[in-house]
């Protein structure tokens, strides 16, 4: 595989951008080697600066559920661009987007658009604290909610250091207001609440985790959190930036039938454009300025190009409900193929999947939380990643990231993915 142009760009980028990348995981440090610089994408394929073609299973970390260069999204964007790229004023497109979100997401009565998932989660926490008058929040180890200060405690693949920030620049005071507990552990949640009686404003979590690999909620976990929050007057926040509109039209809350008080969204609602949103109960949302006292603003919030792309995306998903069964069917075929490969090679690694999200964990342990995810053989995953890349399959360059399937994946792509998986697993174990 030719890499000369990517290497040249990476060399130049390192002189101008920290680590040569604008988001850390792109640097390939977790898997070794140097990142490929992407020139274009179409359907299920990425093409790098050297002209190499890859079937990709990242889909821009989730939002390209219809594949790249989708004509529906492109048409909507092309029609919006001539009118202007930004107004900084209300538009009908924002209202149409809000209508779609409220119609599709069961718990959302009102919604506010922002520019990213990080903005959405930061804002939702502020609403919870402002509304409740309490300062502390509970998050779960391995759940990543963006790079807001309150969330960089036991976040994603960061170090687990209870009460200590994972990043310099996060104050100890902020860290002390974030209480971190293991995912799928209701008993620990109850213990922490007992120790911090009447001090917790909110519990926030990814209902299906995507940032320590794909980790599913165990039976009764989500409903148990809902019950605890109802009993103690705590605001329950689902971070559906990844799962929203991906695993069901109404996200994980629709799939599991457990409804939060606030929901954060992103990824798919921009159709690939930068966007985020948070929404929920009317009384909570009406505490936000200019109706209420809790301040949050953004010049580019509700950007017309992002709204046009998102409306096209959500409208298509709402009007094509069979898309989710097709995505799940194709994901199941890939997972079944990988499991058969593991059987043939006498390997017992763990695979988690739901809908169009899945992860192959290089551990023999069942992965239900961050501690079990951390038992993975990271070096082995790095070798596997690079072997798959050489075979034309572009995976997330981290063991601790979910993979995503798009509607552009067809039978021949599934066959190539499964065959490459077998060859790569065989190579890294020889």
Catalytically active residues are 144, 239, 267
Buried b (16+ CB within 10 A) or exposed e, 104-115: bbbbbebbbbbb
Helix axes 92-104, 304-319, angle to 10 degrees: 30
Phi/psi region, residue 233 (left: phi>0; alpha: psi -120 to 50; beta: rest), is left
Helices (H), 203-360: 221-232, 251-256, 282-285, 304-319, 323-344
Owner of token pair 């930004």: 86
Contact (CB, 8 A) for 270 and 235: no
Evaluate the CA torsion angle 372, 373, 374, 379 in order and state its sign: positive
Positive or negative torsion for Cα 218, 356, 94, 254: negative
The arrangement of strands across the sheet holding 110-114 comes to: 110-114, 276-280, 262-266, 235-239, 200-205, 136-140, 178-181
Residue 21: exposure state from Cβ atoms within 10 A (0-12, 13-18, ≥19): middle
Looking at residue 288, the DSSP 8-state letter turns out to be B
Q: Pairing state of beta strands 200-205 and 235-239?
A: parallel
The burial class, CB within 10 Å (0-12 / 13-18 / 19+), for 84 is exposed
User: 186 is written with which tokens?
Assistant: 């209701």
Residue 110 pairs in a beta bridge with: 280
Widest distance between CA atoms in the chain: 64
Instruction: Kindly provide the residue ranges of all beta strands, DSSP E only, lying in 146-275, ordered along the sequence.
Output: 178-181, 200-205, 235-239, 262-266
Beta bridge partners of 404: 357
- Three-class secondary structure of residue 152 per DSSP: coil
Burial (CB < 10 A; 0-12, 13-18, 19+), residue 173, is exposed
Residue 280: C-alpha distances to residues 37, 193, 258 (Å): 39, 23, 13
């Amino acid at each position: 595989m030719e890499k000369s142009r990517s290497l040249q760009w990476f060399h130049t980028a390192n002189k101008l951008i920290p680590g040569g990348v604008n988001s850390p995981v792109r640097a390939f440090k977790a898997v070794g080697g140097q990142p490929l610089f992407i020139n274009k994408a179409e359907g299920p394929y990425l093409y790098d600066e050297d002209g190499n073609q890859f079937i990709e299973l990242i889909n821009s970390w989730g939002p390209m559920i219809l594949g790249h260069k989708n004509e529906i999204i492109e048409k909507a964007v092309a029609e919006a661009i001539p009118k202007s790229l930004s107004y900084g004023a209300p538009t009908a497109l924002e209202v149409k987007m809000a209508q779609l979100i409220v119609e599709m997401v069961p718990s959302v009565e009102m919604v506010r658009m922002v520019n990213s998932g990080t903005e959405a989660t930061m804002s939702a926490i502020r609403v919870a604290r402002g509304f409740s008058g309490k300062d502390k929040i509970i998050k779960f180890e391995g759940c990543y909610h963006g790079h807001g200060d309150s969330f960089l405690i036991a976040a994603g693949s960061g170090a687990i250091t209870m009460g200590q920030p994972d990043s310099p620049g996060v104050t100890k005071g902020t860290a002390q207001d974030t209480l971190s507990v293991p995912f799928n552990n209701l008993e620990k949640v109850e213990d922490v609440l007992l120790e911090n009686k009447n001090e917790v404003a909110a519990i926030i979590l990814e209902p299906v985790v995507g940032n320590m690999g794909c980790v599913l909620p165990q039976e009764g976990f989500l409903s148990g959190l809902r019950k605890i929050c109802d009993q103690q007057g705590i605001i329950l926040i689902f971070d559906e930036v990844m799962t929203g509109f991906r695993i069901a039209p109404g996200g994980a809350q629709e799939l599991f039938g457990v409804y939060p008080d606030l929901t954060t969204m992103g990824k798919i609602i921009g159709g690939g454009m930068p966007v985020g949103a948070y929404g929920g109960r009317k009384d909570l949302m009406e505490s936000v300025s200019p109706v209420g006292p809790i301040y949050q603003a953004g010049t580019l919030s509700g950007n017309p190009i992002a709204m046009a792309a998102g409306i096209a995306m959500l409208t298509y998903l709402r009007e094509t409900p069979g898309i989710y069964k097709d995505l799940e069917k194709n994901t199941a075929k890939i997972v079944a193929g990988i499991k058969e490969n593991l059987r043939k090679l006498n390997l017992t690694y763990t695979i988690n999947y739901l809908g169009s999200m899945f992860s192959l964990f290089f551990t023999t342990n069942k992965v239900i939380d961050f501690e079990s995810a951390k038992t993975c053989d990271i070096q082995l995953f790095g070798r596997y990643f690079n072997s798959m890349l050489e075979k034309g399959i572009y995976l997330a360059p981290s063991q601790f990231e979910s993979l995503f399937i798009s509607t552009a994946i067809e039978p021949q792509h599934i066959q190539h993915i499964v065959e490459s998986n077998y060859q790569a697993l065989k190579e890294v174990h020889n």
